[in-house]
Structure 1
Amino acid sequence: MLPAWLPSGPVLEATEAPSVSALHGELLRQWGSSEVWRLSYGLRSVIVKRGTDGQADEAAAYARFVVPLDLPAPRLIHGHRDGAAGVLVLADVGRLTLEQEPSAAGFLEAASLLARIRGTAVSGSSEFPAELVKELGARIGRIGFELDPLAEALAGLHRDAPVRVVHGDFVPKNLVTDGSRWTAVDWPLAYLAPHLSDLYMLVRDAVALGHDRGPIVAQYVEAAGADSFLVDRQVLVGGGCFCLRALDFVVSEGLRTIPGSEDWIDPLLAELEGIVKQLS
């Protein structure tokens, strides 16, 4: 059964299917705030997404960042708002994710992909200023340690590193390949900042799967032509920013939309505390 919210006109035009009933539907992902389908007719396929809450404004991220900066993301075919939800039709950029095949080579390719994203100059101010550290900490309300070292380190990055696009969810499930090139998908959380939470998330997942951190960071440094000492600082600060955003999401949205997300809080708090200690 295909979803009732399917934007049939754009899908039929893109796939050249004669009718909705002729489409083959494959549910790829379903969370409390998002639903993703692959719809195909013969050899033609598209990805259709519906998002609510924090996932509802991906079209805005395309308009702000992806399209004008020509970032490596699926081509936007159609987008509209349906009440509180955002619906997108996107080009299908591949059937294999880094989550499905988490090879060492794949993580290196992902590091190079991130270097391309971060190498794209952008106008605009940071959307994660140092003051936001304390604001998020107060909103989360469960942090029993001082966040000053993180706020100070983030302020330093604003002096030493350029503001660039942060994907916001640069994890294996959102890195897709068609066998020849890699693409980053799922852009609704994108924003501007000087830290490297994206690289932190990539390395975090790689290490959890048994890969070494060093080659992945080195690949990013080489591909980006960056200073390794600055990158290490950007990654560490980015890790703290990732933990704060993740905790804020769980407290404000996840507890309501994702069963079991309460269990994420204590590990994230411990991870954040460890990062803050390294910055002290």
Structure 2
Amino acid sequence: MLPGWIDHVAESVLTATQATSLGEVKGELLREWGSSEVWRISYGLRSVIVKRGSDVQTAEAAAYERFVVPLKLPAPALIHHTAIDDAVLLVLADVGRVNLEQEPSVDGFLAAADVLAAIRSREVSAESEFTGDQLAELVRRVDAIGDNLSARLIARTVPALDELHREAPTAVVHGDFVPKNLVTDGQRWTAVDWPLAYLAPHLSDLYTLVRDAVAIGHQAEPIVARYIESSGADAELVRRQVAVGGVCFIVRALAWIVAEGHRLVPPSKDWIEPLVAELDEQVSR
């Protein structure tokens, strides 16, 4: 069975798979979550990934045009994209059938640190898109953070983020650098799912990678050390980038839940309390 919207990208799917009609291809639903629907379309040994994104997910096409393609980031090649109604459809190269969530090995997490170092190594000429003032504004929007934690966060993390803007280069932030979005074909690892990408000097991506590794029993230090080695970055600066990046990631996640996540993904309301507790822990360090 194929999604009803597949006709809008049929030509590119057939060209990529070398099928002569959609009746010959096989569809496998990989993910259906909130505003995102992801399928693998196969014909024999050839396959592509097709995505339908609405709401925040529509930003993935722009992320490819702004970051992925011009900077040659380690992401699936964009074969085609088009807009229909309130959604964007993308046809992407199939970069593998196994992700780091499915096989969370130490070697996989170390390889992901290399992927992140490659992403962060790309020089950009544009300015940061997440400043201290923007962080403070998001904090004020999320009532669940509470007055005490908000005050501590604004007093400590906002100046720290401003300092990173003076000391660290602005680079691409993937925005959801977690195991399910790190895919391998058995030889190479690739970061997928780019709609949340933006520019900033912090390292929220390394924070989320380490956070998930620790949650399943791996050690943080080798992963951070691998990133430092691969990127050639200063270890103390990386430590501060990760600390600030963790706060930025959590605040942005909370702001998304409050603004639209509760509507698109109703269970996200249950994430608020744990995220606030995690934010308190990060700010208190």
Give the distance between the partners of 1:24 and 1:70, measured in 2 at CA. Answer: 30
Give the distance between the partners of 1:142 and 1:97, measured in 2 at CA. Answer: 33
- The alignment's TM-score, normalised by the length of structure 1, stands at 0.98
The secondary structure found in structure 2 opposite 1:186 is coil
The secondary structure found in structure 1 opposite 2:81 is strand
The secondary structure found in structure 2 opposite 1:126 is coil
Percent of aligned positions that are identical:
64
1:130 to 132, 135, 138: 132
Which residue is 2:5 aligned to?
A: 5
Equivalence map 1:113-192=2 (5 Å): 113-144=115-146, 145=149, 146=151, 147-148=153-154, 149-192=156-199
Which residue is 1:92 aligned to?
A: 94
1:68 to 67, 70, 93: 70
1:238 to 226, 245, 258: 245
Give the distance between the partners of 1:134 and 1:140, measured in 2 at CA. Answer: 10
Give the distance between the partners of 2:69 and 2:267, measured in 1 at CA. Answer: 36
Give the distance between the partners of 1:263 and 1:163, measured in 2 at CA. Answer: 33
1:81 to 83, 87, 92: 83
Q: Deviations over 1:159-194 (max 9, x none)?
A: 110000000000000000011110000011100000
Q: Deviations over 1:49-108 (max 9, x none)?
A: 001111012110000000100000000000011121110000001111001100000000
Letter in 2 for 1:221: I
Which residue is 1:258 aligned to?
A: 265
Aligned residue pair count: 278
Unaligned runs of 5+ in 2: none
Give the distance between the partners of 1:57 and 1:274, measured in 2 at CA. Answer: 31
Deviation of 1:154 (Å):
0.3
Letter in 2 for 1:98: L
Deviation of 1:141 (Å):
2.1
Which residue is 2:206 aligned to?
A: 199
- The alignment's TM-score, normalised by the length of structure 2, stands at 0.96
The secondary structure found in structure 1 opposite 2:253 is helix
Deviation of 1:138 (Å):
1.7
Which residue is 1:268 aligned to?
A: 275
Greater share of helix:
2
Q: Deviations over 1:7-30 (max 9, x none)?
A: 211111111111111111100000
1:59 to 42, 49, 61: 61
1:104 to 86, 90, 106: 106
Which residue is 1:18 aligned to?
A: 20
Deviation of 1:249 (Å):
1.1
Deviation of 1:257 (Å):
1.2
Which residue is 1:214 aligned to?
A: 221
Letter in 1 for 2:244: V
Q: Deviations over 1:33-58 (max 9, x none)?
A: 10000000011100000011110121
Letter in 2 for 1:263: D
Give the distance between the partners of 2:254 and 2:88, measured in 1 at CA. Answer: 24
Q: Is the 8 A contact 2:78 2:90 kept in 1?
A: yes
The secondary structure found in structure 2 opposite 1:5 is helix
The secondary structure found in structure 2 opposite 1:71 is coil
> Would you say 1:223 and 2:225 are equivalent positions?
no
Which residue is 2:256 aligned to?
A: 249
Which residue is 1:44 aligned to?
A: 46
Give the distance between the partners of 2:145 and 2:61, measured in 1 at CA. Answer: 34
